[in-house]
């Protein structure tokens, strides 16, 4: 590429600069797109209160809500573990199949138990997409 | 490098700085969109609302429903199983994360976990006790 007596390339220099800017902005947009996609979690719509039902034998996992959630979100499967430390053994429910793409989250909730006890419960949910 | 070359260099540096700021803002905003797992604030709220029977975690043969902070205050002057219960609860909620729960009522104080000089998240709560006064509870997570 020829340079003039001031060491400038004129039109070609402008084109190279523009291409460099386009490449950097393109890379930034790719980064933004992948960040937004990875930030999405199907568990954002989950209501942990609805996932627990009170029964005479202690809190149980609501099978109907779990199935409805899996259907609505189009998940391949979901694993739910409900534990009320000290008072009840953990309960586990698996719906559908597992896959490599997995989102997991732990929720805390208050449960009303037999004899009027109000106890903290922990719900671990793993969603497979 | 002549004046124009210097101008182009500064221009490129400004452009890079702007792009880096944009990336930083993007990372910060996407991280905030992620739902966080349970933290000290949520757990302390649950502890303040927990009601158990007195006989559940004490040797007292009384099935009266009492709030957990009341038993925590009682445990500072009398032997109870509240530390074991809270330890099991904290272990299951925070898993491998290290935590430190400190509580004090009047001039007495107790703790669960290991005390460190720095915690990533910490929260405190003053909860009224039915026998009078308040119990101050602080929960920190490494």
What percent of chain B shows pLDDT beyond 70?
89
Number of folded domains in chain A?
2
3-state secondary structure of A121: strand
Same structural domain for residues A77 and A107?
Answer: yes
- One domain, residues A18 and A48: no
pLDDT in tens, chain A (129 residues): 566 666 666 777 778 888 888 888 888 888 887 777 666 788 888 998 899 998 888 899 999 999 999 999 999 999 999 999 999 999 999 999 988 888 888 899 999 887 889 999 999 999 998
Dump pLDDT digits (tens) for B80-121. Answer: 999 999 999 999 888 766 799 999 999 899 999 888 888 889
- Cβ atoms of residues B138 and B123 within 8 Å: yes
Spatial CA neighbour of A54 closest among A123, A3, A109, A114: A114
- Answer yes or no: do A35 and A66 share one domain: no
Please, which residues 30-49 of chain B have a Cβ atom closer than 8 Å to chain A?
A: 30, 33-35, 37-38, 42-43, 46-47, 49
DSSP SS3 for A100: coil
Q: How far apart are CA B86 and CA B30, in angstroms?
A: 34
Which domain covers residue A23, as residue numbers? 1-39
Distances (CA, A) of B39 to A101, B117, B122, B139: 25, 19, 9, 9
- Asked if residue A35 and residue A15 are part of one domain, the reply reads yes
Q: Are A61 and A118 in a shared domain?
A: yes
pTM recorded for the entire structure: 0.71
Distance from CA of B21 to the nearest CA of A (A): 11
From A36's Cα to the closest Cα of chain B, the distance in A is 7
Q: pLDDT tens for residues B8-27?
A: 778 878 888 888 888 878 77
Same domain, A63 and A99: yes
């Amino acid at each position: 590429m020829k340079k003039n007596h001031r060491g400038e390339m004129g039109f070609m220099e402008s084109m190279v600069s523009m291409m460099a800017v386009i490449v950097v902005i393109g890379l930034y947009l790719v980064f933004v797109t992948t960040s937004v996609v990875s930030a999405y979690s199907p568990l954002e719509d989950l209501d942990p209160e609805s996932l627990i039902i009170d029964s005479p034998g202690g809190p149980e996992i609501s099978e109907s809500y779990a199935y409805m959630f899996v259907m609505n979100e189009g998940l391949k499967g979901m694993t739910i573990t409900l534990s009320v430390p000290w008072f009840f053994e953990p309960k586990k429910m698996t719906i559908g199949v597992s896959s490599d793409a997995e989102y997991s989250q732990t929720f805390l909730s208050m449960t009303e138990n037999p004899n009027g006890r109000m106890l903290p419960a922990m719900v671990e949910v793993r969603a497979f997409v | 490098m002549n004046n124009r070359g210097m101008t182009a260099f500064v221009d490129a540096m400004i452009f890079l700085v702007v792009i880096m700021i944009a990336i930083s803002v993007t990372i910060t905003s996407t991280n905030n969109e992620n739902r966080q797992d349970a933290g000290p604030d949520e757990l302390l709220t649950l502890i303040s609302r927990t009601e158990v029977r007195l006989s559940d975690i004490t040797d007292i043969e009384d099935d009266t429903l009492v709030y957990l902070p009341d038993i925590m205050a009682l445990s500072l002057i009398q032997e109870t199983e509240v530390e074991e219960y809270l330890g099991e609860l904290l272990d299951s909620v925070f898993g491998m994360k290290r935590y430190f729960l400190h509580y004090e009522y009047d001039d007495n104080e107790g703790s669960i976990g290991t005390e460190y000089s720095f915690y990533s998240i910490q929260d405190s709560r003053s909860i009224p006790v039915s026998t009078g006064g308040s119990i101050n509870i602080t929960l920190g997570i490494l």
